Amino acid sequence: MVAVKLILRGTLASEEDRQRFLAEATAAAQLDHPNIVPIYEVGDHNGQLFFSMPVIAGKTLAERLAEGPMAGREAARLVMEVATGIDFAHQRGIVHRDLKPANILIDPQGVPHVSDFGLAKRLAGGTSLTRTGAVLGTPSYMAPEQASGNLGEIGPACDVYSLGTILYALTTGRPPFQGPSAVDTVLMLLDQEPLPPRLLNRNADRELEMIILRCLQKPPDLRYRSAAALADDLAAYLSGNPIAARRGHLSHIWGRLSRETHHAAVLENWGLLWMWHAVVLLAICLVTNAMVLNRDRWPVLQSPLPYLLLWGGALSVWAPTFWRLRYRAGPVTSVERRIAHAWGASIISVMLLFVVESILGLPVLKLAPVLGLMGGSVFVVKAGILNGSFYLYALALFATSLVMAWMERAGIEYSITVFGLVSAAAYFLPGWKYYRRYYLQAEKAKRN
């Protein structure tokens, strides 16, 4: 008795469909492991491609999951065995890329068997059947790098993430992200962090939760280094030994602080706009400094009104222009809206600075060093959400505020120009980086 799998569209299948089907058969046929469904025969019957496999009596893990969450130890054992089989595939240069409960068969002895290598990718050699920008997999169980369509980053870490989603689902009764549609699920995956399993199942074990959350780290290098490492940690959990997920938390925190996050992809839509913003900001600061230098000649410039008109007028024109240009690149994400709120708050703070100085009876721009603190605070927010390198720009702006304070005390009236140069660089340099990345990826997509 064998199970026979047929190509979906039979004799009407396109050449790409046939190649993908054969790729699945070829990938699985190389794998001889007790936790992977083997391939017996690959054939073509009157134009109908097929391959045969052993019949696995029992049910899929999806059918078992429909009955409700599993006990922690049972879930850990199943995923440990699956991880062992997946590591076997990885060692032979094959990444599954579509691990989910429906692709795992449970035999009557409770042994899991991984099937359906339809999206399998070779780590070395072979011909790619995908293109850059394609999103392949099942949204609720795919890794963020798959959801973003960045195929260059797809590797064993994707399967480690998927194993974490399966363990999460077995523990809580649902995957980490589950929206009303596939698009909603992908957006949740890219934009949100999963709820800790114990919020959904108060009986979930803390140690197992730590293993799950280690798998579900969005930066691939913060997950387990391999499926074997995950299997080893699950074995340690089952035997009552200390788990590796408890170790290295400080390094993980530092890793999160210092690296580019998965949200940083949105900056590719902002690269050119940030460069223009740098030009606008520098121009405003230079004009402002010129006004400061001439306020003894023109007494009107000793009033905060001209500065309010300059900053308020220029920014009231530039801000909506900025957003109109951004909308042309596609829908604005929730992450971009958060960044925009921080940016907008800094603009309002700058304008109110002139009002505060007037209320306190201080000369115009006497509190100019505060501008560096405002700009630095905005970049701290950006660093936490987008890219850890922005902490350097934040530090530069904080240091600028100290330099500006010294210049004000020494009577050097060029502090606003210094602020303009540093803040313009803080926008222009990352803007140029992400602008170049956007066009390099666009050129690569055209070539593919």
pLDDT per position as a tens digit, 204-227: 999 999 999 999 988 888 889 999
Active-site amino acid positions: 98
Q: Other CB atoms closer than 10 Å to residue 350's CB: what's the count?
A: 18
User: What average pLDDT score do residues 123-140 get?
Assistant: 54
Q: Which long-range contacts (CB under 8 A, 24 or more apart) does 293-296 make?
A: 293/413, 295/364
Q: Which of 391-422 are b and which e, b meaning 16 or more Cβ less than 10 Å from the residue's Cβ?
A: bebbebbbebbebbbebbeeeeeebbbbbbbb
CB 339 within 8 A of CB 382: yes
Q: How confident is the model at residue 414 (pLDDT cuts 50, 70, 90)?
A: very high
Residue among 393, 388, 344, 352 at smallest CA distance from 370: 352
Tokens at residue 243, please?
Answer: 């788990």
Global pTM reads 0.67
User: What average pLDDT score do residues 341-370 get?
Assistant: 89
The tokens 């590719």 sit on which residue? 268
Instruction: Encode pLDDT of 296-309 as tens digits.
Output: 888 888 888 888 88
pLDDT value, residue 406? 95
DSSP, collapsed to helix, strand or coil, labels residue 127 as: coil
- Alpha-carbon distance of 35 to 82, in angstroms, equals 6
Spatial neighbors of 426 by CB under 8 A, at least 6 apart, are 278, 375, 379, 393, 396, 397
CATH code for the structural domain at 58-259: 1.10.510.10
pLDDT at 442 over 80: no
Q: How confident is the model at residue 145 (pLDDT cuts 50, 70, 90)?
A: confident
- Alpha-carbon distance of 216 to 143, in angstroms, equals 8
Rounded to a whole number, what is the distance in angstroms from the first to the last CA of the chain? 43
pLDDT at 105 over 70: yes
